[in-house]
Amino acid sequence: MSWFNYNGKVYTENTPIIGAASRGLRYGDGLFETMKMKKGQLILDNEHFARLWKGMTVLQFAIPKHFAPEKLIAEVLQLAKKNGHEKAARVRITVFRGDGGLYDAADHTPNYIIETWALPDSNGELNSNGLDMGIYTAVKKSCDILSNLKTNNYLPYVMGALEAKKQKWNDAVVLNSFDRICDTTIANIFIIKNEMIYTPSLTEACVAGVFRKYIIDQIPATGFFCKEKEITIDELLDADEVFLTNSIYNIRWVKSIADKNFGNLITQKIYASFTPTIL
């Protein structure tokens, strides 16, 4: 049996907690944060909570003084211990507004759910088999103030994931409204060309990934250089290497997109340079 936390209280899995009037259910009115725990410690927690708080500010939540990162961290640790997930876990914090219609929210105080799932011992290792991917074109991400947030309005990624499963891809590249590279359904994307590393800038509508930022900050120490820019489909398919990043899998290399194959020599060097604490 597993447990989850709803507004500070712990319940058994499948316990019903919200009704039909929930704005989170009706409108996807909220956002979420996914982070990793290793040996009872949250990885890059300051950056994750900074992103969560920024998102709540953008979505105009009324954040009480007692609702602080320290409170959530304590509850995450308590839940992970109860679930037996302290060794290695994926942690998700979902924040959403309470009941009400579109113009008449009962209040703007954040409701929240904390969940944990055990991760395998191999988590964080560079994948031995490269990912096979495709490009999803039916739904595009708009470039606006919500683009960089992990909101509960996740349909472009949901649809991309459904297409990836249908096509038997490991993941799908998501485009923005200008038909340029945005990110993938579960990760940020980096390309390597002539030993230069590139990733879509935040203005291109990609999620402001915590591990993305960590990689960008740390890459100069590896002897390489990373530039944030607009990336076209042609540039993606002309790359020498492609890799993905997120806070759970860290770095994964891409073997193919459409009919184009990629190597992973520089990706291996970048992966090898990071500390065991992060990986």
DSSP state, residue 26: H
Q: What is the pLDDT along the chain (279 residues), one digit of tens a residue?
A: 899 999 999 999 999 999 999 999 999 999 999 999 999 999 999 999 999 999 999 999 999 999 999 999 999 999 999 999 999 999 999 999 999 999 999 999 999 999 999 999 889 899 999 999 999 999 999 999 999 999 999 999 999 999 999 999 999 999 999 999 999 999 999 999 999 999 999 999 999 999 999 999 999 998 999 999 999 999 999 999 999 999 999 999 999 999 999 999 999 999 998 755 566
pTM for this model (two decimals): 0.95
Q: Which of 165, 218, 163, 164 is nearest to 190 (CA)?
A: 218
**Domains of the chain and any CATH numbers:** 3-118 (3.30.470.10), 131-272 (3.20.10.10)
Backbone angles phi, psi at 179, to 5 degrees: 65, 25
The token duo for 137 is: 């074109």
pLDDT tens, residue by residue, 73-105? 999 999 999 999 999 999 999 999 999 999 999
- Single out the residue of 175, 274, 173 nearest to residue 219, CA to CA: 274
Closest CA to 50 of 80, 72, 66, 29: 72
What distance in Å separates the CA atoms of residue 180 and residue 39, rounded to the nearest whole number? Answer: 39
Amino acid, single-letter form, for residue 225:
F
Q: How far apart are CA 91 and CA 86, in angstroms?
A: 11
Q: State which amino acid sits at residue 271.
A: Y
pLDDT digit string, tens, across residues 22-44: 999 999 999 999 999 999 999 99
- Single out the residue of 238, 217, 10, 214 nearest to residue 112, CA to CA: 10
Give the position of tokens 């997109």.
257
The span from the CA of 245 to the CA of 185, in Å, is 11
**Amino acid of residue 51:** R
